[in-house]
Amino acid sequence: MKLLYVIRTVLLLGILFTAITAKAQQNDDLINLLLKKNVISQHEADSLRADQAIKEQARKDKENVHGITIGSKALQLSGLVQVRYQGFQQSGVNDAFDLHRIRLDVRGDVTDKWSYDIYSEFGGATVKLVDAWTSYKFGDYLKFTAGQFKIPFSLESLITDSQLEFIDRSQVVEALVGRSKDVISSTSNQQGRDIGVQITGNLAKLDDHYLFDYSFGVFNGAGYDVTTDNNDHKDFGGRLVIHPVKNLSIGADFYNGLANYGTPATNQTRNRGGFDARYVTGPLSVQAEYDKGTDGIIKRDGYFGQAAYFVVPKKLQLAAKYDTYDPNKIKPTDRTFIYTGGINYFFSDWTKITIDYLDRHEEAATQIKNNILEVQLQLIF
């Protein structure tokens, strides 16, 4: 009996070694053969298959994961590095390299319900706190978030920086969503973020996707990384997205607020509205967005449309974009137009180089020679 047990154990160890080193199909064929010849039992065969499946999944996870995880999901570290070169056609503007974004993200799940995120920017003269929030998830239908995060307005603004098809966001998004050219961003780019509370959720699940996504929040309206609000008024923003089919999103959003800006700074209306759509099918993605805003007595609007296509799957992507913005609807000659052609080459899932050429035009009779060539190397970890 002992000899039979030893022989059986050796056979099982041999099978296990084969399962680890050979291909999955070959392993399964070998297990089926030993099972057919009654060398192993059905229970032992199932155990071997389960063990192989666990090891194969662990191998795939190791290949696909980036960042550092400590204590299961309680502490996860990741980051973003974007080094950019800009070549300016306009005279008097110097070509230059810069650190476009240097980000470190610390996040985690304290429990199955509670999560947090602390996202910092190290590029520029000072370190800035970009995101700092905690959230409690009641279910897919409702999540409550408090802290500093992106306001629920504009699809392009909400897309994470590393996933953009182009180096720059559109003119209208930079001007109306608390970014570089917004009235509340005279001294610093607010990155589309503010401090407040928000509820989000997904509703009406259809097979493998939800029909609706919603967001609604209350915010200071003064931007991010500030110690106090600059007025007593609180702003409101909301967004509703419909997914009639998988990979298609159609969104509409609003933002109503009172901001402190101008010279001298006074409390003035800062309202926004917009709608957008995005569809992805195979190697092709298309996206469009229209936004409008009212700052005091000035009305502004703009829109863009873009398409991107992987000519080599997961490696080489070509992209094109039409982008227009009118900073004052009353003035007839201040609208600008940008035609952008782009190339993205992905060295891996975490590293890519982007080359964009921006062909800029003004509505005014006199055109400025201000086209821009941009090249950016990106690494996420």
Question: Does residue 106 register a pLDDT over 90?
Answer: yes
How confident is the model over 16-59, as pLDDT tens digits?
Answer: 444 444 445 566 676 676 667 676 677 666 666 666 666 665 55
Please state, in angstroms and rounded to a whole number, the distance separating the CA atoms of residues 156 and 178.
13
11-16 — which CB contacts under 8 Å span 24+ positions?
A: 11/39, 11/40, 12/40, 12/44, 12/48, 15/40, 15/48, 16/48, 16/51
Question: Does residue 376 register a pLDDT over 90?
Answer: yes
Residue 187 — pLDDT band, cuts 50, 70, 90?
confident
Burial of residue 208 (CB within 10 Å: 0-12, 13-18, 19+) is exposed
- Note the pLDDT of residue 359: 98
Of 23 and 373, the one with more pLDDT:
373
Q: Which residues contact 345 (CB under 8 A, 6 or more apart)?
A: 315, 316, 317, 352, 353
Question: Does residue 9 register a pLDDT over 90?
Answer: no
- The residues spanned by each domain of the chain are 2-62, 65-380
Choose the weakest-confidence range: 3-7, 311-315, 341-345, 361-365: 3-7
How does 36-54 read in b/e, with b if 16+ C-beta sit within 10 Å?
eeebbeeebbeebbeebee
Degrees, nearest 5: CA angle 325-238-103: 70
- Note the pLDDT of residue 13: 41
For 65-380, give the CATH class.
mainly beta
How confident is the model over 52-88, as pLDDT tens digits?
Answer: 666 665 555 544 445 666 656 788 999 999 999 999 9
Task: Copy the structure tokens of residue 143.
Answer: 């999540």
Of 243 and 72, the one with more pLDDT:
243
> What average pLDDT does range 152-158 have in this prediction?
98
Choose the weakest-confidence range: 45-59, 116-130, 303-317, 350-364: 45-59
> What average pLDDT does range 103-126 have in this prediction?
93
- Note the pLDDT of residue 285: 98
Of 327 and 3, the one with more pLDDT:
327
- Note the pLDDT of residue 14: 47
Choose the weakest-confidence range: 24-38, 90-104, 316-330, 338-352: 24-38
Residue 267 — pLDDT band, cuts 50, 70, 90?
very high
Q: pTM for the full model?
A: 0.81
